[in-house]
Amino acid sequence: MSETSIQEIKTSLPKILQQIPNLIIAENEKPVAFMGISHQELEMLFVAPEFRGHGLGKQLINYGIKNFDVNKLTVNEQNPQAIGFYQHLGFKTYRRTETDDAGNPYPILYMKK
């Protein structure tokens, strides 16, 4: 993603987070990860870089599956690490688009369990 796109996301994130019905935050003296869920869909997952690779993302996803029946998600095709992570957890691609929901040139994979 371009630096401009990243800055746009940072600017719009507070408003986006207010629209997510189920926001789960993991803390370690301060927030280190969060997951947003709406209608059985994982809307967002973020784990701070220094906490990646320790199972926190997997714990959050499993919590979402167990407590909110999460069974689908979308992921940027240009993020192979995330795709591999979701595939490892049993999600499979069922659809692909050339652009994201805002029409930006980021191919999106739609995955479900």
Averaged confidence pLDDT in the chain? 92
Question: Is the Cβ–Cβ distance between 74 and 108 less than 8 Å?
Answer: yes
Question: Is the Cβ–Cβ distance between 35 and 60 less than 8 Å?
Answer: yes
* Structure confidence by residue, pLDDT tens digits, 55-94: 999 999 999 999 999 999 999 999 999 999 999 999 999 9
Among residues 81, 111, 107, the alpha carbon closest in space to that of 93 is found at 111
pTM of the model: 0.85
Please give the domain boundaries of the chain with CATH numbers for all domains. 1-70 (3.40.630.30), 71-113 (no CATH)
* Structure confidence by residue, pLDDT tens digits, 91-105: 999 999 999 988 989
